Structure 1
């Protein structure tokens, strides 16, 4: 068997698989959404697809180096002038370099069409967030039931009663939401849906939290006002006084874009209005 052929075939196969994993990672939901909903594709989780992509990348890199080694002479021949002198910056090399730099610079500066590709990915991920749901806070699935209930203002006793009524097995309040979900073949989101009614019996606190919860920018102003018991007309009027024009159906990101600012600025404005 020829090593050059094996290297070429491995390079080709790893390239094809890298294309597949790249496409999947392009459309995969944000981590907080994927972990919360236990997102999987073809039986593999987000982390598993990421690990595949990394190791395939190393395989592609290793075989690529070997491929260059085995094809060094043809590569040098392509870089030689008519005088048989090796010239790195040949016209072909220059064109390839310029194209690569254009993609890199365009991506950093967010210039179309590079920015369009990134925006499309964000749009797909936003749709996934709407479909699968956002966690109440980052890595909520790793919190113990006790901590989860305290952070969300759930009645702990009622939450455990609700779990028992649904025949959900759990060791106690110190068990994490993720462990409870895995033990009962559920997603963390489904566990939360079971104990969510316990929120109704707990003391509701008005006002926004001190830091933006995950997915805040993707939620509509009306949705936020409903969750945090905010007075919509007052919010709109107060935002207008801050020269921020908004409508209830707009998301925080859309409001920020329409007012040529950052979603964090909108959150700060809302926080000031609610907590003053």
Structure 2
């Protein structure tokens, strides 16, 4: 009876882990998903994250239960030569993934490619997690007159207050944060703020050439800036590869290259 329950829980948990894992693998980057109000099957990024975590925890509990029930058999497996071989494969996968080696790098690169295909990526996200800022703070950071922004939104039939976040305004008006931003972005005064490079943006997987093209940075100047700091870089290398070789983070490389 115990094994029957274990098998059923493992089966359904595995199905949910696989499905939610695929969704998280292909979904847009977090900053894009949040700001554009991305959903899949009616669920947003947080919902899919929560499903993946909860079923992951359930799977761990059931797996421990499975180990306890089948410990006598498993103990024999652990001392067999197949156990060492399996362990070696696991260690190799960990090492290859951490050090960004092939074929594991290809999996990460393909994820970045798939994420870039979403139409939401056509929108310029001005501030990471800007949807959590109040309209007042959001406008100040972008150099937009908050009074004019409020007037513009109301002219477009949007109910809003300066102390409400973009997310709250969007939800109240059945819009997305990016749609609210599109209504007021032309009120932005020049010069615009210098882009801030945020962790978790997928930037590390970009080649130096791709990074410079996206942020309108001269590639030769970027390489020169890096060289001045003793950092050797090729335009085809990813920011993560350059950072790893120089004991830095991709964000550090982005900041130096864009100086």
Of 111-120 and 131-140, the range deviating more from structure 2? 131-140
Taking the aligned partners of 2:147 and 2:193, their CA distance within structure 1 comes to 25
TM-fit CA distance, 1:69: 2.2
Say whether 1:268 aligns with 2:256: yes
- The answer (yes or no) to whether the contact 1:32–1:134 under 8 Å persists in 2 is no
TM-fit CA distance, 1:125: 2.5
- In the superposition, relative to structure 1, how do residues 25 and 144 fare at CA in structure 2: closer, same or farther (>3 Å)? same
Q: Output one character per residue of 1:169-206: Cα deviation in whole Å (capped at 9) or x when no partner.
A: 11x2111111110100111000000111212xx3x127
Q: Which residue of 1 aligns with 2:246?
A: none
- The answer (yes or no) to whether the contact 1:35–1:141 under 8 Å persists in 2 is yes
Among 146, 160, 177, which residue is 1:188 paired with?
A: 177
TM-score, L = length of structure 1: 0.74
TM-score, L = length of structure 2: 0.79
- In the superposition, relative to structure 1, how do residues 91 and 61 fare at CA in structure 2: closer, same or farther (>3 Å)? same
Query: Over alpha carbons, which structure has the higher Rg?
Result: 1
Taking the aligned partners of 2:158 and 2:222, their CA distance within structure 1 comes to 45
SS at match of 1:44: coil
Aligned residues: 240
Taking the aligned partners of 2:234 and 2:128, their CA distance within structure 1 comes to 22
TM-fit CA distance, 1:242: 5.0
Taking the aligned partners of 2:219 and 2:28, their CA distance within structure 1 comes to 31
- In the superposition, relative to structure 1, how do residues 161 and 222 fare at CA in structure 2: closer, same or farther (>3 Å)? farther
Taking the aligned partners of 2:67 and 2:226, their CA distance within structure 1 comes to 59
TM-fit CA distance, 1:45: 1.1
Q: Output one character per residue of 1:192-233: Cα deviation in whole Å (capped at 9) or x when no partner.
A: 00111212xx3x127736x436869577656645xxxxxx8x
TM-fit CA distance, 1:71: 2.2
TM-fit CA distance, 1:243: 8.2
Structure 2: give runs of 5+ residues left out of the alignment. 228-232, 244-249
Taking the aligned partners of 1:59 and 1:236, their CA distance within structure 2 comes to 48
- The answer (yes or no) to whether the contact 1:18–1:56 under 8 Å persists in 2 is yes
Structure 1: give runs of 5+ residues left out of the alignment. 80-87, 226-231, 245-252, 272-276
Taking the aligned partners of 1:236 and 1:254, their CA distance within structure 2 comes to 10
- Over the aligned positions, Cα root-mean-square deviation in angstroms equals 3.1
- The answer (yes or no) to whether the contact 1:145–1:173 under 8 Å persists in 2 is yes
TM-fit CA distance, 1:131: 2.9
